Chain A
Amino acid sequence: MTTVWAGLATGAIYSLVAIGYNVVLLASGTFNFAHAQLLMAGTFLAYTGAVTLGLPVLPTLLLGAAGVAVVALLEERIAIRPLLGRSDAHGALITTVGAATILDGLAAVIWGREPLTVPSVLPDEPLTLLGGTVRPVDLALIALTLLTGVGLHLWSRHSLLGLASLASAEDREAAAARGINVRLLGTGAFVLAGAIAGVFGLLVGARTYAVFDLGHSLALFGFVAIAIGGSGSQLGGLIGGFATGLVYAFAARYIGAEFPQIVVFGVFLLILFLRPRGLFGAALERRV
């Protein structure tokens, strides 16, 4: 059971990346390859708040949310906005990868290349739960990720803005013709995704450290989570992330510490072959 808890805690981080991808994808039709870097920025801001500035938990969370939301807003303005209205539908794929590279570089310049320890906001003493041990901070990470994913899923189906976001994902021009401000919706999605990434910086950093190249591995596994769960489905992304974490943890435990990545990508390929839209994905088609 300890392996399950470890898998779920790692999976929660992959779920967070998938949730961030989906928030932006649903509202603006853009796949933000830099979202994992936003999560990385969240861990560094958590370090700055909690360690450098010595702030209590709540102000640290606010610093993370506001800081990463601003970074996401800047990304949208610089890497996405200039491309809107252009016929080249693939431009954003390139510019968001560019944004990810710049964010990696900036983090290395500002905070250095060595991993920084983000302190745990909860007691370090592990809990015994359902026959396995888990750190309180990891349990909080799992629970809050679940809450965020399910909350976003419900919000998208039962609120005007949520429905507008789904409508915009299905047909952006038809959504505009219904009076939805699709540009503002897209910008809002970047800010929301950034704020969520920032809030989770403290919990994610406590598990991964704050390190400038964190985004690389997270982006890859977040992408696997999306492929498993299906793009455009918040519940799918949530479940895909946890499933990826569990596969990783079980492969490490029972096959060997060198193999989890190979096993995860084996599952990834299998899903792509058998069910290319993922387990819960809607068809979000891209016109080429």
Chain B
Amino acid sequence: MLSVTGITGGYGDLRVLREVDVSVRAGRITAVLGRNGAGKTSLLSAVAGLLPSVGAGRVELDGRDLTGLPPHRRIRAGLALVQENKRVFHARTVEENLLLGGYALGGRGLRSPARRAALEQAYERFPMLRERRRAPAGSLSGGQQQMLAIAQALMPGPKVLMLDEPSAGLAPVIVKEVLAMVAKLRDEGLSILLVEQRVEQALEIADDVAVMEGGRIAASGPKNGFDDGAVIREIYLGRSDERLTTGKS
């Protein structure tokens, strides 16, 4: 479904990604784990076309080469990104945020039939958003903003959803709700690339795992290869390169 190979890039002269390979199978969740500063957010930015400087590598979606395309064309091709820190448009209402999420959908006018249908679908999936549709997004709680951000990203009907730390800054009970929603989306057939700090919760819903360290993929493979937690513990608590290589599946 989504295949990223040999991505190298960063910000100006600062290289934060080094030949990163990661893939997402159709209807599966790939969880990208790693310490702060490992390059996880930069990886999602690079896939979405938002990283300022990408030196090498290839991004393919369903066999279509997206490398070099600007962000808006990647969204039209079927990628969607929910950025870290619930990046909704705070000054705009919930409904305006959703309509903006459907920007890539066809049709003239703010409320084209395609956008209206997607809006209705979003309200069915997230009834709370219908209740708060006229409220400024900035007035929602953190959990509600995260749901809005996910609903916004789903508006164009993406093939692959990328989520950057969807649990960040949320109360534990809300984290459970958000990750349950992510698992539900996967069960409905969506392919998901999930970057997450909360390792245990991420592993609960993930099908595949990629562990990043210093801008590289240190280990990757199906989740059952990580079940004993040894490799991940090494990544978070200190490691030897040799141990990691053996952990690589």
Residues of A within 8 A of B (CB): 85, 87, 158-160, 163-164, 166-167, 170-171, 173-183, 282
Does B96 have its Cβ within 8 Å of any Cβ on chain A? yes
Q: Once bound together, how far apart are the Cα atoms of A170 and B68, in whole Å?
A: 26
Asked whether A177 lies within 8 Å of B99 as measured between CB atoms, the reply is: no
Known: A176-B50, A178-B152. A171 touches B92 (CB 8 A): no
Main secondary structure of the interface of A (DSSP, over half): helix
Q: A166-B91, A171-B87, A173-B87 are in contact. List 17 more A-B contacts (CB 8 A).
A: A87-B11, A87-B12, A160-B99, A163-B96, A166-B92, A167-B100, A173-B83, A174-B83, A176-B71, A177-B48, A177-B87, A178-B153, A179-B72, A180-B72, A180-B100, A181-B72, A282-B91
Asked whether B103 lies within 8 Å of A164 as measured between CB atoms, the reply is: yes
Does B63 have its Cβ within 8 Å of any Cβ on chain A? no
Q: Once bound together, how far apart are the Cα atoms of A183 and B69, in whole Å?
A: 13
Minimum CB–CB distance from A30 to chain B (whole Å) comes to 18
Asked whether B89 lies within 8 Å of A170 as measured between CB atoms, the reply is: yes
Does B55 have its Cβ within 8 Å of any Cβ on chain A? no
Known: A179-B76, A183-B70. A174 touches B87 (CB 8 A): yes
Chain A residues, Cβ within 8 Å of B101? 178
Chain A residues, Cβ within 8 Å of B83? 173-174, 177
Q: Once bound together, how far apart are the Cα atoms of A178 and B52, in whole Å?
A: 17
B residues contacting the other copy or chain, number (CB 8 A): 30
- List B78-124 residues whose CB lies under 8 Å from chain A: 81, 83, 87-92, 96, 99-101, 103-104, 109-110
Chain A residues, Cβ within 8 Å of B110? 158-160, 163
Asked whether A178 lies within 8 Å of B50 as measured between CB atoms, the reply is: no
Q: Once bound together, how far apart are the Cα atoms of A254 and B112, in whole Å?
A: 55
Q: Once bound together, how far apart are the Cα atoms of A87 and B100, in whole Å?
A: 27
Known: A170-B91, A171-B89. A85 touches B52 (CB 8 A): yes
* Complex A-B: 17 CB contacts under 8 Å: A158-B110, A159-B110, A160-B99, A163-B110, A166-B92, A167-B89, A171-B89, A174-B83, A174-B88, A176-B70, A177-B87, A178-B100, A178-B152, A178-B153, A180-B72, A180-B100, A180-B103
Does B215 have its Cβ within 8 Å of any Cβ on chain A? no
* Candidates B11, B72, B99, B156; contact of A176 at CB < 8 Å: B72
* Candidates A167, A177, A282; contact of B81 at CB < 8 Å: A177
Chain B residues, Cβ within 8 Å of A160? 99, 103, 109-110
- List B42-64 residues whose CB lies under 8 Å from chain A: 48-50, 52
Q: Which 7 A-B pairs have the closest CB atoms?
A: A179-B104, A179-B75, A174-B87, A176-B71, A181-B72, A160-B110, A179-B103
Known: A177-B50, A178-B152, A181-B70. A163 touches B99 (CB 8 A): yes
Minimum CB–CB distance from B223 to chain A (whole Å) comes to 28
Chain A residues, Cβ within 8 Å of B156? 179
User: Taking each of A85, A170, A183, which has the highest tally of chain B beta carbons within 10 Å of its own beta carbon?
Assistant: A170
Q: Once bound together, how far apart are the Cα atoms of A170 and B92, in whole Å?
A: 9
Q: Once bound together, how far apart are the Cα atoms of A158 and B93, in whole Å?
A: 12
- List B149-205 residues whose CB lies under 8 Å from chain A: 152-153, 156
Chain B residues, Cβ within 8 Å of A179? 71-72, 75-76, 103-104, 156
Q: Once bound together, how far apart are the Cα atoms of A174 and B70, in whole Å?
A: 14
Chain B residues, Cβ within 8 Å of A282? 91
Q: Once bound together, how far apart are the Cα atoms of A77 and B1, in whole Å?
A: 38
Q: Once bound together, how far apart are the Cα atoms of A140 and B30, in whole Å?
A: 62
Minimum CB–CB distance from A19 to chain B (whole Å) comes to 20
Chain B residues, Cβ within 8 Å of A181? 70, 72
Asked whether B70 lies within 8 Å of A163 as measured between CB atoms, the reply is: no
Q: Once bound together, how far apart are the Cα atoms of A182 and B48, in whole Å?
A: 14
Minimum CB–CB distance from B183 to chain A (whole Å) comes to 23
Interface mask (B119-159 → A, CB under 8 Å = 1, otherwise 0)? 00000000000000000000000000000000011001000
